[in-house]
Structure 1
Amino acid sequence: MMFGNTQSELGDHKWRGQLDRFVKANQQDLAALFWGLWLENGNSKGTIGIDLQPTPHFVYCPQEAIENLNDQVENRLQEILGIVENHQPEIEVVMIGIGKGEIKLIQFAPEPAPPDCFKQVDKDVEGLLDLLEQRMSESLDS
């Protein structure tokens, strides 16, 4: 628990606001990517993550790794685990943001739904990964 924020601590949390703005500006493309990866892999590789270090890129966060981290932080990630385990991929996007030694849940229900976003986008999964990683590198500080 933080009680006093030094300037460096405030800077360490800047990534969360930047990530929120990136997600909001790119909801439909992120939903399309999410659905495309879901069609390819389902839950087999884990939850999609956005890792900001060393440069912003997409990763998979295996369920076991999230559970192990939850054990290490005295079950403070229990709510995130519940959301990850119970999300409905056809209507909502769930990802994990990873930055500065912390994680952040990314969850939204786009309009249109993820399957429709994927149909409307004129790119395959690789094209979406390239596009979004390029946008991330332009808009997110590492």
Structure 2
Amino acid sequence: MLFGTTQPESGDNKWRSQLDKFVKENQRDLAALFWGLWLENGNSQGTIGIDLQPTPHFVYCPKEAIEKLNDRVENRLQEILGIVENHKPEMEVVMIGIGKGEIKLIQFAPEPAPPDCFEQVGKDVDGLLELLEQRLSEEIDF
């Protein structure tokens, strides 16, 4: 007997699985971008986000904005806030996916670590942003 059978994917949730697939296929480049932006700004701009509307692009999600949203949704984002606050950028990538009025936590520990990914990729932040936004546009049907 099967438990927890999956429901057919609705159009509203399709973006989540597409984003998961994109992250899995682009882990090294996302880790490199994450580290490059971390070197440039540290935590001063907030958490990196992937905003899917109107076309997929990268944004910063300031901590204050996430806290305000958490208040509006009765503290249902408390766990996300804790992860954002306590992540170790030299070891793991933390981003926020934004789509259809919802957010999704993106968190992974790449092999190799983000600093090494950045070194291996050999592109600057602008080149990585351009490359990844192009791939996002091709791979995510929003």
User: Would the TM-score normalized by the shorter structure come out above 0.5?
Assistant: yes
CA distance in 1, matches of 2:121, 2:25: 15
**Length, aligned pairs only:** 136
SS in 1 for 2:141: coil
CA distance in 1, matches of 2:98, 2:78: 17
CA distance in 2, matches of 1:141, 1:38: 28
Counterpart AA for 1:101: G
Paired position in structure 2 for 1:109: 109
Paired position in structure 2 for 1:78: 78
Q: Which consecutive segments of 4 or more residues in structure 1 shift more than 6 A? A: none
Paired position in structure 2 for 1:27: 27
Paired position in structure 2 for 1:51: 51
CA distance in 2, matches of 1:141, 1:53: 11
CA distance in 2, matches of 1:139, 1:63: 28
Paired position in structure 1 for 2:4: none
Q: Can you give the 5+ residue segments of structure 2 that lack an aligned partner in the other structure?
A: 1-7
Q: Can you give the 5+ residue segments of structure 1 that lack an aligned partner in the other structure?
A: 1-6
2:88 counterpart of 1:88: yes
Deviation at 1:122, TM superposition (A): 1.9
Q: TM-score normalised to the size of structure 1?
A: 0.94
SS in 2 for 1:89: coil
Q: CA RMSD in A?
A: 1.3
Paired position in structure 1 for 2:5: none
Deviation at 1:58, TM superposition (A): 0.1
Paired position in structure 2 for 1:11: 11
Q: TM-score normalised to the size of structure 2?
A: 0.94
CA distance in 2, matches of 1:57, 1:141: 13
SS in 1 for 2:30: helix
